[in-house]
Structure 1
Amino acid sequence: MLLEFGIEISKGDNNLIKTIPFILEDAENNLPYNFRDLLASQKLALDDLIVQIKSLDAQIAKQHSTGGKERIGHIAKNHSDKNSEVSYLRGLFQLYQ
């Protein structure tokens, strides 16, 4: 959608994360206010999801390093919704790579 306004972002989640703040700050890119507001709120949501993913990755790494393989299986079974959200988000990020 940004291409409609002549704004191109290179593939990769890091490029997306780094570029959005510059797009929001650029007053001359002619983005409609509503779209700019939506993009800002989506950036905040993305930041929150990245924090959640990092937290889950740290929990998994900790369980794995302590030999808690049974616990990891328990987490996977009881938190399948969170795991599917993480898988979904990772899939979305792969679209930008």
Structure 2
Amino acid sequence: VIAQGMSALRVNIPLVLEDAENSLPDSFRAVLHRLWAQLNVQIEHVDMLTKQLELSVSTDPICQQLMKLEGVGPLGALGLALRLGKGENFTNGREASANIGLTPKQHSSGGKERIGHISKRNADKRLRCILFQGALSVISNVIKRPARTTKEEWLKTLVERRGKKVAAIALANKTVRTAYALLKSNSVYQPQLLA
């Protein structure tokens, strides 16, 4: 039995292959060796692509500007830059956020507004997932310490009221709207510090 995760796999598979007394059949050992070699090649490819991505993000001023937002890393910045452009394809931030799939669906009729859940089918699922994961990491850090900015204060009260996942979607929504405003006005993100 090997623990889950890549680091445990990297440590234990070579030991399993070298151990001649572990009663593995030779045919299975040969297959396992070939699969291990293929996995190592794929790991090298992913590492190379990650380095290329980090290099392209580090040289792009728009991505650098977007990485200053809370919960936005290299993948999120590149995804937002590609999806939003300079903001010319959207009329406002809500439309940009809805395009990514971070706003709730509306079923309104006859003056009655009914707000549903976020759409999980009609959106950029990968970018939404990246922004959601970034927002969750921000939330896990913010709830452990006192709030420093007005956004962190808002986030802490939202987590207490609605829970971490709803707060993460709300933060991702706010991140997309802020990114849209930054790209549209060509300005720099400055968080509002608490007095």
Structure 1 residue corresponding to 2:42, chosen from 35, 42, 49: 49
1:18 offset after TM fit, Å? 1.2
The reply on whether 1:12 has 2:5 as its aligned counterpart is yes
Q: Per-residue CA shift, 1:17-43, capped at 9, x if unaligned?
A: 110010011111110001000000011
Cα distance in 2 for residues equivalent to 1:58 and 1:52: 10
Unmatched 5+ residue regions in structure 1?
Answer: 1-7, 77-97
Where does the alignment leave 5 or more consecutive residues of structure 2 unmatched? 63-77, 83-195
TM-score by length of 1: 0.62
Q: Does residue 31 in structure 1 map to residue 24 in structure 2?
A: yes
AA at the equivalent of 2:55: K
Q: 2:69 — aligned with what?
A: none
Identity %: 35
TM-score (norm 2): 0.31
Greater Cα radius of gyration, structure 1 or 2: 2
Residue correspondences, number:
66
Q: 1:62 aligns with which of 55, 69, 91?
A: 55
- More helix as a share of residues: 1
Cα deviations by residue, 1:26-77 (Å, 9 ceiling, x for unpaired): 11111000100000001100100000000000000000000076xx67xx9x
- Change in CA separation of 1:35 and 1:65 when aligned onto 2, cut-off 3 Å: same
